[in-house]
Chain A
Amino acid sequence: RKEVEQDPGPFNVPEGATVAFNCTYSNSASQSFFWYRQDCRKEPKLLMSVYSSGNEDGRFTAQLNRASQYISLLIRDSKLSDSATYLCVVTGITPNAGGTSYGKLTFGQGTILTVHP
């Protein structure tokens, strides 16, 4: 079983639609959670962090359910520019001389979103 699993899609939605992506992770010790966005043939970029209390950034809402080990991303009022691959990411905490810090990122396979006119 993969550590982070996502529905690869693709999701094809019209402009203005609301779309939701889901992700599950297997390591209950995972500490931090993120959504990254990756445009075609580009590097991944952080979209937003995910917290248990839920967090919102404009049209984007992320949610974490630690009990179910489930992460979600909701995009409202989709724009053409939202077309990309959305990567669910988890990370643990590793010790270092200065205390603790975030370690390696574990990525899901990515979900492809295409928004059409």
Chain B
Amino acid sequence: DTGVSQDPRHKITKRGQNVTFRCDPISEHNRLYWYRQTLGQGPEFLTYFQNEAQLEKSRLLSDRFSAERPKGSFSTLEIQRTEQGDSAMYLCASSWTSSGEQFFGPGTRLTVL
């Protein structure tokens, strides 16, 4: 499968714990995006990378959230001191710089108890 992959697919954690998610984009894509989706809403932009550079971060991304893409390939999204409001589907997408289409991964569903 050469699509976008995400790991884990599901994560249940207790409030206050730290969690880390991984995204592997389509190999030739140099742009990688993170979005968050809650029930009944469309995805909301969190941040994106071009190669290893983080070019934009949403106001939604509080200081408890950090994302990295150290070698311009896979990316990680870490949430520290999780809160119940962090429960959501975290989606990763990738694209060519010159293409409008973003291909989404299957998402990581986070539940904070």
Interface residues of A (CB under 8 A from B): 4, 8, 32, 34, 42-46, 49, 87, 89, 91, 94, 96, 98-99, 101-110
Kindly identify which residue among A8, A46, A96, A105 contacts B45, using a CB–CB cutoff of 8 Å.
Answer: A105
Chain B residues contacting A43 (CB-CB under 8 Å) are 91, 104-107
A98 CB contacts on chain B under 8 angstroms: 97-98
Contact between A8 and B106 (Cβ–Cβ < 8 Å)?
Answer: no
Q: Which of B13-21, B48-56, B66-74, B78-86 contacts A (4 or more CB under 8 A)?
A: B48-56
Cβ-defined partner of A87 (8 Å) among B42, B93, B97, B107: B42
Interface residues on B, range: 20 to 34
21 A-B interface contacts by CB (under 8 A): A32-B100, A34-B100, A42-B106, A43-B105, A43-B106, A44-B91, A46-B101, A46-B102, A96-B55, A99-B98, A102-B95, A102-B99, A103-B48, A103-B56, A104-B45, A105-B33, A105-B35, A106-B45, A108-B42, A109-B40, A109-B42
The answer to whether A107 and B44 have CB atoms under 8 Å apart is: yes
List B contacts of A102 (CB < 8 A). Answer: 95, 99-100
Q: How far is the CB of B5 from chain A (nearest CB, A)?
A: 11
B2 within 8 A of A: no
B62 proximal to A (CB < 8 A): no
Contact indicator A110/B100 (Cβ below 8 Å): no
Q: Which 8 A-B pairs have the closest CB atoms?
A: A107-B42, A43-B104, A104-B45, A102-B100, A101-B97, A110-B42, A107-B43, A87-B42
Write out the residue numbers on chain B whose beta carbons fall within 8 Å of the beta carbon of A32: 100
Given the contacts A44-B104, A91-B100, A109-B40, A104 and B56 also touching, CB distance less than 8 Å: yes
